[in-house]
Amino acid sequence: MSTLFQPFATQLDFETGKLNPKGKVIIRHLSDMKGMYLDEGEFENQLKKNPLIYEVYNVVVPETMPHIQHCVTILHPGKVGKEYFMTKGHYHEVLDRAEIYFCLKGKGELLMQTKDGEFSSLEMVPGTVAYVAPEWAHRTVNTGEEPFVFFAAYPGDAGHDYGGIETEGFVKALVEQNDKPTYIENPRYIQAVK
Amino acid sequence: MSTLFQPFATQLDFETGKLNPKGKVIIRHLSDMKGMYLDEGEFENQLKKNPLIYEVYNVVVPETMPHIQHCVTILHPGKVGKEYFMTKGHYHEVLDRAEIYFCLKGKGELLMQTKDGEFSSLEMVPGTVAYVAPEWAHRTVNTGEEPFVFFAAYPGDAGHDYGGIETEGFVKALVEQNDKPTYIENPRYIQAVK
């Protein structure tokens, strides 16, 4: 056998969205998202139960350019006050790296923004293949009643920059108004210092 | 609006495997695969009807590194003699670029080989996420009775080298023996000159 990296397979369960083997698992509860939801009183209130917000199952490959990182995210349904459960969101550490989000189950919205404060969003339903273009931060929001499951792929060397988005916040927030997902300006948003 | 590449979405139909919008379409009939099947008599015989072997729907993004190429392939069921319908197969033009194959429907085998003549294969059923490691040529074979549909993602700058595989052929061929898919040595295989 050569010294080359060897091919392998992972099995995704379309019912649960989980991978076998599980790979590198990231689990985020509400307590991992301090300062990210608009309604701080409701945030504190829900912390007692500290609900599971999302799970990410990452297939493990080297974080270098010849490779393709890939993972599946299960974003659970729920709200903090009027604001839907969401992921933290991030830029790529190597900023100009794209990503694909392929919705397998449930429904949601993909929120994206640039360091210049440009904002864009895409609706995701099963079969939607969303293209997060290079340089766009990305966050997903579950606007449905069941888990929102999507598969993602991105260049091996992209990395994650969560800190930028923690400082800035997202330009817009997604809340329920009149029983419908509605975008509102995020009063806490601060444009990135370039 | 900035001059940045903008996000967008494509819709995949899980029933047919087709994309909307279709993107860049590649259609391969039997006549596009001269010299690739073992049974030349049967190849010539089937050329009269010239069956559709596979279709690839490519989402169009720039072929540069910040980007992620992605496409869906519909590989139809059938055989040329005892040998199952298959794709041409290719190395990446930038050899050390990985690829993900994510099976959505049907079943098949993924054949891979290196320039050194090392061979590997993976079974693919719905939910299988196969990792084509950097430097491995890859070909898919439909071993089922219905279309074998899979989604693929790979680095934007990878490119395709079909010529190498046309000259070498694959180390092994997949044929039906006693009603089962069986690997046999390919008598026409010639190891690559490095």
Note if the pTM is more than 0.90. yes
Q: If pLDDT is split at 50, 70 and 90, which confidence band does A191 have?
A: confident
pLDDT at B1: 55
Check pLDDT > 60 for residue B114. Answer: yes
Buried b (16+ CB within 10 A) or exposed e, B62-94: eeebbbbbbbbbbbbbebbebbbbbbebbbbee
Q: If pLDDT is split at 50, 70 and 90, which confidence band does A164 have?
A: confident
Q: Distances in Å between the alpha carbon of B127 and those of A151, B37, B100, B177, B191?
A: 11, 29, 12, 27, 33
Check pLDDT > 60 for residue A53. Answer: yes
pLDDT at B31: 98
Check pLDDT > 90 for residue A193. Answer: no
What proportion of chain A, given as a percentage, has pLDDT over 90?
94
pLDDT at B3: 83
The per-residue pLDDT for range A63-79, each reduced to its tens digit, is 999 999 999 999 999 99
In terms of Cα–Cα distance, which of B126, B13, B19 is closest to B70?
Answer: B19
Would you call A8 and B102 a contact, using CB atoms and an 8 Å cutoff? no
Q: If pLDDT is split at 50, 70 and 90, which confidence band does A27 have?
A: very high
Rounded distance between C-alpha atoms, residue A137 and residue A111, angstroms: 8
Residue A74, helix vs strand vs coil: strand
Which of B1, B3, B4, B132 would best serve as a mutation to test chain A binding (most A beta carbons within 10 A)?
A: B4
* Cβ–Cβ pairs < 8 A, chains A and B: 161
B186: contact with A, CB 8 A cutoff = no
pLDDT at A3: 83
Domain spans in chain B, listed from the N-terminal domain onward: 11-167
Q: If pLDDT is split at 50, 70 and 90, which confidence band does A2 have?
A: low
The per-residue pLDDT for range B140-168, each reduced to its tens digit, is 999 999 999 999 999 999 999 998 889 99
Average pLDDT of chain A, as a whole number: 96
Check pLDDT > 80 for residue B2. Answer: no
Average pLDDT of chain B, as a whole number: 96
Would you call A7 and B120 a contact, using CB atoms and an 8 Å cutoff? yes
Nearest CA in chain A to B116: A2
Q: If pLDDT is split at 50, 70 and 90, which confidence band does A179 have?
A: very high
Nearest CA in chain B to A8: B131
pLDDT at A128: 98
Which of B129, B157, B191 would best serve as a mutation to test chain A binding (most A beta carbons within 10 A)?
A: B129
Would you call A136 and B8 a contact, using CB atoms and an 8 Å cutoff? no
Q: What is the fold, at CATH topology level, of the domain defined by A11-167?
A: Jelly Rolls (2.60.120)
pLDDT at A194: 60
Mean pLDDT within A7-16: 97
Q: Min CA distance, B9 vs chain A (Å)?
A: 4
> Which residues, 6+ apart, have CB-to-CB distance to A168 below 8 Å?
A189, A190, A191, A192
Rounded distance between C-alpha atoms, residue B113 and residue B103, angstroms: 20
Q: If pLDDT is split at 50, 70 and 90, which confidence band does B43 have?
A: very high
pLDDT at A26: 98
